[in-house]
Amino acid sequence: MKQPTMAGYVEIIGTLFERFEQYQQLQMSSKLGRPYTYSEKVLIIFFMVMQFRRIFKFKAQQRWLEKHPELRQELGFNRIPHRTTLSRRYKQLYDTLQDFIAFLGQYAATLDEQFSQADLVEDKSLFKALGPVWHQKDREVGRIPEKLRYLDTDATWSKSGYQGWVYGYGLHMTCNLDAFPQLIEVTTAITSETVVFDQKEAFILNVIQPRTLSADNGYTQAVRIRRWFKQGVAFLTPAKKWVNGRFAVAYHRLIKQPFFAGRLKRRRTSVEPLFDLIAKVLGTTGRQKQLPVQRLDHVKTCLALATLSVQIVMISNNIWGLPPRNVSDIHSAFT
């Protein structure tokens, strides 16, 4: 078994990103604009290292690069970017990270059964905003109490059955039954999971083409269930409030069949541990999982990068014969 090192992880991330870039080039006839001074590959690796080192301030990241010339060279920096450049490029990475995550979902499916896209799971988890909360009565009128400092005004309120009321953001996750991420979307907490899922629908049905997709009761829509079945995909939810009518009765009969009931049962044992793993990557603890950064544009990249880190961990562990969800080795290598 190969001992994981920073160089080993950097090589894997770099190789996978180069394959992603090749795939992107095949999807478009030309790439507009001049090349970046600092490539997206180099910045993704760098920000991932900073994430595991819990260095989230851009000024501190710049200083780290100044004080670690050997590691700077290993990560691929020819010169040191200014903190404003790091901040700007960090915010710009979200779309690329989303596409890279989706690509790795498809790429890894050819490597091992644990990365199969046949049976998917959809869910949303809330992450608490960094700093104090903005009470709804004040937020509705745009009033910030005089002594409330370091408030994240982008965040919103939402409630989940497990976390209760949370002032923060939502991570909308599509993963497989073995907790390997496939697609993500990051929004403020209040954004409806069904609205976000509607935006994912075409990609899931036309590109991934799974056999089943399981979700909780909040995703239940008779129209959607019918539409998915017409395209050959079983959309599975407990459908606790949808019980009347011939189609509803037939649907409940179907989800009780051993195969479909098994997929529904495995939903929580896949996606909920995945959310906990992402929180572990970020070094956040507690039921509400407080984030290490503020503002939506930073939070989007932060959660996308943590999700990508889990993908890299699971692919690397598969290559090296390590437990699939073990993040301690990459944490040790990067710190």
- When the pLDDT of each residue in the chain is averaged and rounded to a whole number, the result is 94
Tokens representing residue 135 in the block: 């009470």
Average pLDDT over residues 196-202: 96
Q: Compute the Cα dihedral for 176, 179, 184, 186 and give only its sign.
A: positive
Per-residue model confidence as pLDDT tens digits over 226-284: 999 999 999 999 999 999 999 999 999 999 999 999 999 999 889 999 999 999 999 99
The pLDDT, as a whole number, for residue 160 is 86
pLDDT digits (tens, 9 = 90+) for 47-106: 999 999 999 999 999 999 999 999 999 998 989 999 999 999 999 999 999 999 999 999
> Where along the chain do its domains lie?
6-35+93-334
pLDDT recorded at residue 285: 79
HSE of 43, CA atoms in CB hemisphere, 13 A: 23
Distances (CA, A) of 43 to 4, 46, 194, 296, 318: 21, 5, 33, 19, 25
Which pLDDT band holds residue 35 (cuts at 50, 70, 90)?
low
Task: Tell me the pTM.
Answer: 0.95
Q: Which of 44, 28, 30, 155 is nearest to 90 (CA)?
A: 44
Q: Is the pLDDT of residue 183 over 80?
A: yes
Identify each DSSP E strand in 69-211 by its residue range.
119-128, 156-160, 164-176, 181-188
Of residues 161 and 106, the one with the higher pLDDT is 106
On the question of pLDDT at 17 being above 70, the answer is yes
